[in-house]
Structure 1
Amino acid sequence: MAKGKDVRVRVILECTSCVRNNVNKKSTGISRYITQKNRHNTSSRLELKKFCPYCHRHTIHREIKK
């Protein structure tokens, strides 16, 4: 089967505020979510507002490279 031509791909979403605060070692980790997106409809990077257990609030999670 052709794996490179799948329409729906798995993406990893990472918390943006944990990445910035992790330099100062304030947070204990980085919040990550795994989801799917349609490659044809959403060609740009995905941004969703999700709950971060390390920040204890809803923050913007951006798509990262695998």
Structure 2
Amino acid sequence: MRVKVTMRCNECKQRNYNTMKNKKNSPDKLEMNKHCPFCKKHTLHTETK
């Protein structure tokens, strides 16, 4: 049930992180505050395919 997802910065649109999620427990897109090395600050990252 766990799938690999890629996290993308909402400000610069760079794909920075890979993570796993359980589709059964969280069917919606993931959103996390993570550090973006391109923006050099903490920004909202959302799930992409």
Would you say same fold, with TM above 0.5?
yes
Name the amino acid aligned to 1:58: H
What letter corresponds to residue 48 of structure 2 in structure 1? I
Higher strand share: 2
Which protein is richer in helix relative to its size?
1
Structure 1 unaligned regions, length at least 5:
1-6, 20-29
Aligned Cα root-mean-square deviation (Å): 0.9
Count, aligned residues: 49
Contact residue 18 and residue 31 of structure 1 kept, 8 A: no
Distance in 1 between the 2:2 and 2:15 partners? 23
Structure 1 runs (4+) deviating above 3 angstroms are none
Q: After the TM superposition, which residues 53-64 of structure 1 pair with which residues of structure 2 at under 5 Å, given as runs?
A: 53-64=37-48
Unaligned runs of 5+ in 2: none
The percentage of counterpart residues that share the same residue type is 43
Give the CA deviation at 1:32.
1.5
TM, length-normalised to structure 1: 0.70
